[in-house]
Structure 1
Amino acid sequence: MADAPATAGPNEDVVSLLLAQHAQIEELFLLVAGSTGPARADAFNALVRLLAVHETAEEEVVHPLSRTLPGDNDALIDERLAEERQAKETLKVLIEGGVDADGFDEGVLLLRTSVLQHARYEERYEFPRLRQHVPPDRLRQLATAVRAAEAAAPTRPHPGTESATANAVLGIPLAAVDRIRDAIRGASK
C-alpha cells in the first residue's frame, strides 16, 4: 500500500495526476473495508493522509484556477468546497473514534459514497473545463504545483480551511503539527 499520493510523470498534466489520485483513494477505501486489525488502521491512516493532502492541493491550486475559467463557475466550485468540508468533518469524527469504534464501518461507507461522488463531479464537470480552457503546458506545470502543495499540506483533515486563503494562512502551521504527530505515531509503532 502506498502512503504517498500518486504522482504524475514529467509529461502528465494536473488532470491526469488528480485522476490517478482519485483511483488511489478508491483503492484505499476498499482496503479499509476489507482489512482488520493493524492492516485496517494502516489503510485508514493512508486514506486520511491522501485525502488531506489531495484536497488541500485542489483547494490551493485547482479550484481557484477553475473559478477563473470562462463561464459561471462559482456555484460549481462552492459545491465542491462544501463537499470537501463535509468530508473533513466526517473524517475527523472517524479519526477520533478509531477504526474499532462502533459505527466506524457505517461511517466509512458513508464517507466513501460522498467522496467518490465528489470525485465524479470533479471528473465530469471541473476537469474537462480545465482541459478545454487551459493550455497543455500550463496543465503540466500545474501538476508540479499540486505536488508541491501536497508536500507542504496538512496530513489530517481541518474543516474550515477549504479556501486558498485559509490554506495559505493556516496550512503551514497545521501541516507542521500534523507531521510532528505523524512522526510520534510512527515512532511509537
Structure 2
Amino acid sequence: MPDTDAPTTPGPEEDVVDLLLAQHARVEQLFLLVIGDTGDTRREAFDDLVRLLAAHETAEEEVIHPLARTLPGGGGGAMVDDRLDEERQAKETLKTLIASGVDADGFDTGIILLRDAVLTHARYEERYEFPRLRQHVPADRLRTLAAAVRAAEAAAPTRPHPSAQSAKGNLAAGPALAVVDRVRDALRKPSVG
C-alpha cells in the first residue's frame, strides 16, 4: 500500500517549492499505481491519491495562490484564476470517480482523463507559478511556507470539495469538511481484530 504519510522531501531546509514538487511526483506515482493495478491494490492507491490531491490543493489554495496573486510583475491574479479553474474541474471529476468507484464502467477512461488534467495543471504551476515564488520570495520565507503548507494539509479535508476553493472558503468550511471526511474515512476502514 502506498504511504502518503511519508515525508515527501527530507530535511529542515526544505522549502515550499521543493515540497510541492515532491508532492507532484508522488501524485504521478499514485496515478501509475491506480492505472496499472487492480482490486484492493488499485482501490488503496486511489484512496491515497484522493487524500493527497485533496490536502495538496487545499494547501495551495490557502497558502500559495494568495501569495502568487501579489507577486511583482503583474498577471498573478489571472495565473491563479486559471489554476483555480483547473483545480475545480479536477475536483468535479474526482468527485464523480469517487462516487462511481474503481470497479465502475468508465473508471479507466475517467482516471486517465483526470491524470492528464492534474499533471498538466502541475506542469503549469511548475513552469509559471513556482519560478515566480523562487524569484520574488526570500529563501527563509519559502522554508516557512513549507511548514504552513504542511499545517494546512494536516487540517485539510480528505475528499474533494469543489465549492470550497479559495483561502476564505477553505478556512471557513475546511475544518468542518475535514472532520466529516475523517469520520467517513474511519467508518470505511475495515476493523482489525
Which TM-score bucket, shorter chain as reference?
Answer: over 0.9
Specify the alignment match of 2:49 in structure 1.
47
Q: Does 1:21 align with 2:39?
A: no
Q: Does 1:83 align with 2:91?
A: no
Q: Does 1:118 align with 2:89?
A: no
Q: 1:41-77 CA distances to partner (integer Å, 9 max, x unpaired)?
A: 0000000000000000000000000011012211100
- Where 2:189 maps in the other structure, the secondary structure is helix
Specify the alignment match of 2:157 in structure 1.
154
Q: Does 1:142 align with 2:163?
A: no
Alpha-carbon distance between aligned partners in 2 of 1:7 and 1:152, rounded to the nearest angstrom: 18
Q: Which runs of 4+ in 1 moved over 4 A?
A: none
Alpha-carbon distance between aligned partners in 2 of 1:152 and 1:86, rounded to the nearest angstrom: 22
TM-score between both structures, scaled by the size of structure 2: 0.95
Residue type of the partner of 1:3?
T
Of 54, 62, 65, the residue aligned with 1:63 is 65
Cα deviation for residue 5 of structure 1 reads 6.4
Q: 1:141-163 CA distances to partner (integer Å, 9 max, x unpaired)?
A: 00000000000000000012110
RMSD: 1.1
Q: Does 1:3 align with 2:1?
A: no
Alpha-carbon distance between aligned partners in 2 of 1:65 and 1:5, rounded to the nearest angstrom: 27
Cα deviation for residue 6 of structure 1 reads 4.1
Alpha-carbon distance between aligned partners in 1 of 2:165 and 2:5, rounded to the nearest angstrom: 21
Alpha-carbon distance between aligned partners in 2 of 1:117 and 1:50, rounded to the nearest angstrom: 17
Gaps of 5+ in 2: none
Cα deviation for residue 187 of structure 1 reads 3.8
Gaps of 5+ in 1: none
1:6–1:20 Cα contact (<8 Å) kept: no
Percent identity over paired residues: 69
Alpha-carbon distance between aligned partners in 1 of 2:39 and 2:152, rounded to the nearest angstrom: 32
Of 141, 163, 176, the residue aligned with 2:179 is 176
Alpha-carbon distance between aligned partners in 1 of 2:151 and 2:76, rounded to the nearest angstrom: 25
Q: Which piece of structure 1 moves more, 79-88 or 1-10?
A: 1-10
Residue type of the partner of 2:120?
Q
1:6–1:24 Cα contact (<8 Å) kept: no
